[in-house]
A and B are shown apart, each in its own frame.
Chain A
Amino acid sequence: MTRMIHHSIRHLGVALSILLIALLAACTPSHGQSTFDTVGPVARSQLVLFYWIFWAAVFVFVTVVGALLYIVIRYRRKPGDGDPPQVHGHKPLEIAWTVLPAIVLAVVAVPTITTIFDNANSPDQGALTVDVVAHQWWWEFRYPHPDESGNEVVTANELHIPVNEVVNVTLDSLDVLHSFWIPKIAGKVDVVPNNANTMWIQADIPGEYLGQCAEFCGVAHAHMRLRVIAQPREEFDAWLAAQALPAVDPPDPLALKGKALFEGQAQCFSCHTVSGLKKARGLIGPNLTHVASRGHIAAGELENTQFNLRQWLKDPNAVKPGNIMARDALIYKDADGGYSPLPNESLSEAQVSALVSYLRTLE
C-alpha cells in the first residue's frame, strides 16, 4: 500500500513537471504583448522578480499539495477504523511553519524593494523626456522640439524612441484614468488626472512593440492601443526632424479639395491640429500634421492604408465603437442627432475621397 502511494506520488511529480513545462510554453514570447519576451531593463527586472517568486511558489505548491494528497489518500477511513488519537497541536511544528514562510518571504522582499526604487528613479534625468497625454481613447505624445526650445512636436499613438537610451516619460490625462503599458518594455504606470506620474523606459533592440491602455477607461477601452517604435539614434533624429516640419500644401487638385473640406465644410479643424494650417488648431483629436507617416490609424486599430483610412472616415463607429469623433463630429449626425455613416447629407462619397486624398499627403 505505502509503496503504491509512493509510486503514485512519483507519477504525480512527473505529471506536475510536464504540466509546468506546458505552462511555460503557454506563455510564448512571440505574442505581441507577452511579458516574457522583454526588450528593456525595466521589464526585465520585473520578469526576474516574477521568476523568483514563481519558482518559490512552484516549490511551495508541489510540497503542500503533495502532502495534502498524500494525507488524504494515506489516511482514508477504512471500515472498522476506530477514532484516531485526538492530537490537539504541536508547538515546535507550528512555530516552524510560521517562521519558514516568513524567511522565504524575506528573501523575496529584498529584491522587491531594490527593484521598486530602481524602476522609480530614472538612471538618466537629462535624457529625452516625452510627455504622454492619454485621451479617451487614444494617446498623445509630445516631444521637445529639436530646434526651437520651448516648442513641442506632437504626434499620436506611435511612440518613437531611440534604442538603447533611457527615455523619461511624464503621464497626464485630461479625462479619466488610463494606464500606459508596453509589456515588453515596461510594466504599466497609471495615467491619473491631477496626479503627475512619471516613469522611465528603455528598449535594447530596435523594433515595434505593442502596448495597450490597461486601466478601464470607458466604451472604447479595448481599442486604446499604442505602438512603441524603437530605432537607432540617427533614424530617430531624422524622424523627429521630419515631424517637426509643418505640413506642406499638396500639388494634387483632389487633395487640395480635401484640404478645403478639412478647413471648411467637414469641420475637421475644430478638433484636429495640422501645423501649417492656420485654422486647424483643434486639440480634441490627434494631431494630424504627419498622420500619413504613421503605420496605423484609430489608436492602432487599423493599418494606415488608403482603403482603411476611407473605412475609418466613412464609418468610425464600426471600427472603434463609441469613439468621440463618431459621437460628436457634426458630419456624422443625421437630422435627429443620431449617428449616420458617410456618405450622408453632410458629405458625399466624392468629398470623402478628397479628404482621404488630402490626409494621405500629410507625410
Chain B
Amino acid sequence: MTTLALPLPKRPVHPTGVWSWLTTVDHKRIGILYGVTAIILFLTGGVEALYMRVQLARPGQEIVSPEVYNQLFTMHGTTMIFLAIMPMGAAFFNFLIPLQIGARDVAFPRLNAFSYWTFLAGAIMLKFSWLMGGAPNSGWFGYAPITGVAYNPGHGIDFWIMSLQLLGIASLAAAFNFIVTILNMRAPGMSLMRMPLFTWMTLITSFLLVLAFPVITVALIELMLDRLFGANFFVTRAGANPLLWQHLFWVFGHPEVYILILPAMGIISEVLPTFSKKPLFGYPVVVLSGVIIGFMGWMVWSHHMFTVGLGPVANSVFALTTMAIAVPTGVKIFNWIATMWKGSIDVKTPMLFAVGFIATFIIGGLSGVMHASAPSDAQQQDTYFIVAHLHYVLFGGSIFALMAGIYYWFPKITGRLLDERVGKLNFWIMFVGFNLTFFPMHFLGLDGMPRRIYTYDADMGWNLWNAVASAGAGLIAVSMLVFVANVVRSLMKGEEAGADPWDARTLEWSIPSPPPEYNFEQIPTVHGRDAFWAQKRQGVRTVAVAGGSYNGGEHSIHMPQPSYWPLVAPIGLLMAAYGLIYVSSIFGLAAAVLGGAIAMVSVYAWSFEPVNDPPETSEH
C-alpha cells in the first residue's frame, strides 16, 4: 500500500487540543461530539417551540407572522427528529456499543468520524436556512404539492431537501458501521443472545436505518428534480397524484418512529435492571418483541394516511396491523414492570426518568390505539390530539429515556456523577412541565383545534388549555436550564464516579471512568448475560484473549489513527449540496462541482491513507 506514489499528507498525530477533536476517530470522542451537538440543537428546537407556544398562549396574537410560524413548526419538527433525538441516539451508540460488546473501537473508525461531520454539515445546512432567506415552511413531512416551486418559490424547501440528504448519508454510514461492529466485533463468548439490550436495540435500529433511508432519499431526489430541474413527480397540474409523496415519506417515516423509540427502549432496558438489582425479566421476549416491532414497523405506514382516501379495504388492513404492533410494545412494558417486581429499587435520577418514561409512554401508546382505529382517527388526524400523542411518544418516550441515559452514563463518559438532588429537581420540573404542556393538547384536539394554525378565535373554547400548555412549555425550558446547569457544575466539581457507581451489570462498567482510549486492557471473555454482574457476584472471571492483552508498553495495543479525510469529505458534501440549491447560477454550479470534487478526492485519499505506525505493530 505504501508503495503507491500518492502525495498524501501524513496522518495527524495530535493527542490533545482542537485538532485532536477534529481528526479523532475514537468512538468515545465521536460519541461526545454527537451528544454535545445534539443537546445544543435540541435547545434550538426548544426555542422554536417556545416561540410557537408564546404565539398560541392567547387567541388572536400577532407575535410571529403566519409565514414565520409555518417555518417554526417545520424547523421544530425537523430539528427534534433529525438533529436532536437521532444524533442523541447516535451519541449513545458511539460511546457505548464498543464498551458493551467488549471491543476497542467500531469496525470503521474513520467512517464513524465521517458520519458525525456529515451529520454536522446537514445540521448546519438546515439551521442556516433561517439566515439564507427563509427556513422550510411545509411541515416536517413536507407533503406535496405545497413543497413545489409553484407554491414555494423560495429556497427554504431546497435547504430542507439538501439537509435531509446529508443527514441520510450520515445515518446510513453510521448504521452500516454499527451493524458490522455489533455482528463482528463482540468479545469472545458474547453470543447475540448475551448482548446487552441496548446493543440489541441499536442493531435493530441500524437495520431500520439502512432500509428506511433509501426510501426518503428517493423521494427527496424526486422532489429536488421537480424543484431544480423542472421534473413532474409531484406537480399536480401536470397530472401527478400527490399521494405518491405521502406513501414514500411514511414508508420511511414510520420505521423512523421506531428508529427514534427503539434506542430509548434499549436505554430503559439497561437502567431498570441496574437500579432494581435484577436481570431484565424475559430477556428473549424483550429482544424478540424489539425485532417484531422492527419488522411490523414496515407494515403500518398508511395509518398516517387514514383520511387521504385510500378506501375502506386499505384503511382496514392498516388499522389491523397498527393495532397488532401494540402487542409487542405492551409486552415490553409488562416485562419492564416485572423486572422491578420484587427488586431492590433505588430511585436515583436515571431510574426516576425511566419510571417516568414508562408512565408517559403508556399514554402515548394508548392514544396511538385510538387513532389506529381509522374512524376514530378521522376526528383526530391533523389535530392537537395528534400533537399530544406524538409528544407523549417522542418526548415522554424518547427524550425521557435519553435523559435517563444521560444521567446513567454521564459518570462513565466524564468520570463524574451528575448531582442527584439537582437531577431529581430536573426530573420533576420536566415531568410536570411536560404533562402540563402536552396533556391539555388532547382536549384541544378533541375540541376541534387543528394543528399548524398560527392563531385561533377567542370563542372556540381553546383559550384555557392553550394558556396552560404555554405555561407548561415554560416549565420545560426551566428544566432544561436546570439540566445544563447540572452538567456544567458536575463537570467541574461533580463527585468522582469510579468505574462502577451504580453496581451495574454490563461490561462498560468494568473499566475505568472515563475509559482509556483502548477501552479494555484485556479483551474480556463472556460467559453469560450481565457479564460484569456475574464477575462481581459469582467471580466469573473475564479471561484475557491471546493477542489482546495489555503489557504496559505504549504500542502494544493497536488503535486506529486520526485522519483528516473524514472531516474534509463532508466539507465537500456541504459545498456540493449548497451549490446544488443555486445550480441555475454559475456560482452555484461551480460550488456544486468543486464540492463534489473535494468529496471525491477525500474519499480516494482516505482509501490510500498511509499508516504512521511501523507495520509490525498493526497486527490485526
A333 to B460, CA, bound (A): 34
Most chain A beta carbons < 10 A, residue from B242, B333, B455? B242
- Does B522 make an interface contact (CB < 8 A)? no
- Does A68 make an interface contact (CB < 8 A)? yes
A192 to B243, CA, bound (A): 8
- Find out whether the CB atom of A75 lies under 8 angstroms from the CB atom of B345: yes
- Does B374 make an interface contact (CB < 8 A)? yes
Given contacts A34-B447, A190-B307, A322-B67, contact A45 B146 (CB under 8 A): no
Q: Which single residue of chain A is at the shortest CB-CB distance from B330?
A: A101
Given contacts A50-B379, A105-B323, contact A57 B448 (CB under 8 A): no
| A 106-157 contacts with B by CB, 8 A | 108-109, 112-113, 115-117, 119-121, 136
- Does A239 make an interface contact (CB < 8 A)? no
- Does A64 make an interface contact (CB < 8 A)? yes
- Find out whether the CB atom of B241 lies under 8 angstroms from the CB atom of A84: no
- Does B443 make an interface contact (CB < 8 A)? yes
Chain B residue contacts of A183, Cβ below 8 A:
379, 448
Given contacts A97-B334, A187-B378, contact A192 B448 (CB under 8 A): no
- Count contacts on A: residues with CB < 8 A to the other chain: 92
- Does B320 make an interface contact (CB < 8 A)? yes
Chain B residue contacts of A278, Cβ below 8 A:
none
* A129 → chain B closest CB, angstroms: 16
* A192 → chain B closest CB, angstroms: 6
Q: How many A-B residue pairs have CB under 8 A?
A: 284
Mostly, the A contact residues are mixed
- Does A338 make an interface contact (CB < 8 A)? no
- Does B278 make an interface contact (CB < 8 A)? yes
| A 60-85 contacts with B by CB, 8 A | 60-61, 64-65, 67-68, 71-72, 75-77, 81-85
- Does A164 make an interface contact (CB < 8 A)? no
A198 to B311, CA, bound (A): 10
- Find out whether the CB atom of A88 lies under 8 angstroms from the CB atom of B66: no
Chain B residue contacts of A50, Cβ below 8 A:
370, 373, 376, 379
Give the contacting residue for B341; candidates A75, A97, A102; CB below 8 A: A75
User: Could you give, for residues 325-339 of chain B, a 1 whenever the CB lies within 8 Å of some chain A CB and a 0 otherwise?
Assistant: 011001101110110
User: Could you give, for residues 436-477 of chain B, a 1 whenever the CB lies within 8 Å of some chain A CB and a 0 otherwise?
Assistant: 000010110011111111111001111001000000000000
- Find out whether the CB atom of B327 lies under 8 angstroms from the CB atom of A215: no
- Find out whether the CB atom of A83 lies under 8 angstroms from the CB atom of B344: yes
- Does A186 make an interface contact (CB < 8 A)? yes
* A79 → chain B closest CB, angstroms: 11
Chain A residue contacts of B282, Cβ below 8 A:
88-90, 94
Q: Which single residue of chain A is at the shortest CB-CB distance from B319?
A: A112
* A182 → chain B closest CB, angstroms: 9
Q: Which of A9-17, A219-227, A250-258, A349-357 contacts B (4 or more CB under 8 A)?
A: A219-227
* A19 → chain B closest CB, angstroms: 10
Chain B residue contacts of A108, Cβ below 8 A:
323, 369, 373
A54 to B385, CA, bound (A): 13
Given contacts A50-B379, A57-B370, A322-B66, contact A88 B323 (CB under 8 A): no
- Find out whether the CB atom of B308 lies under 8 angstroms from the CB atom of A31: no
Q: Which single residue of chain A is at the shortest CB-CB distance from B465?
A: A26
Q: Which of B24-32, B354-362, B610-618 contacts A (4 or more CB under 8 A)?
A: B354-362
Given contacts A190-B309, A192-B308, contact A72 B382 (CB under 8 A): no
- Does A49 make an interface contact (CB < 8 A)? yes
Given contacts A192-B242, A322-B66, contact A212 B363 (CB under 8 A): no
Chain B residue contacts of A71, Cβ below 8 A:
337, 340-341, 343, 345
Given contacts A31-B460, A84-B343, A193-B145, contact A105 B309 (CB under 8 A): no
- Does B316 make an interface contact (CB < 8 A)? yes
- Find out whether the CB atom of B327 lies under 8 angstroms from the CB atom of A105: yes
- Find out whether the CB atom of A97 lies under 8 angstroms from the CB atom of B331: yes
- Find out whether the CB atom of A105 lies under 8 angstroms from the CB atom of B324: yes
- Find out whether the CB atom of A35 lies under 8 angstroms from the CB atom of B379: yes
Given contacts A76-B347, A113-B316, contact A84 B277 (CB under 8 A): yes
Given contacts A72-B347, A87-B281, contact A31 B448 (CB under 8 A): yes
Give the contacting residue for A84; candidates B70, B342, B462; CB below 8 A: B342
Chain B residue contacts of A88, Cβ below 8 A:
279, 281-283
Q: Which single residue of chain B is at the shortest CB-CB distance from A32?
A: B460
Given contacts A97-B330, A177-B143, contact A89 B319 (CB under 8 A): no
**A77-B344, A90-B282, A176-B146 given; 15 more Cβ-contact pairs under 8 Å:** A34-B448, A76-B347, A84-B342, A89-B284, A90-B281, A98-B330, A101-B331, A109-B320, A109-B323, A176-B151, A192-B308, A193-B145, A216-B382, A218-B146, A219-B70
Q: Which 4 A-B pairs have the closest CB atoms?
A: A33-B448, A187-B378, A31-B461, A222-B453
- Which residues of A pack against B, CB within 8 Å? 23, 26-28, 30-36, 43, 45-47, 49-50, 53-54, 56-57, 60-61, 64-65, 67-68, 71-72, 75-77, 81-90, 93-94, 97-98, 101-102, 105, 108-109, 112-113, 115-117, 119-121, 136, 171, 175-177, 179, 181, 183, 186-190, 192-195, 197-198, 210, 212-222, 321-322
- Which residues of B pack against A, CB within 8 Å? 65-67, 70, 138-139, 143, 145-146, 151, 236, 239-243, 276-279, 281-285, 307-309, 311-312, 315-316, 319-320, 323-324, 326-327, 330-331, 333-335, 337-338, 340-347, 355, 358-359, 362-363, 366-367, 369-370, 372-379, 381-383, 440, 442-443, 446-456, 459-462, 465, 537
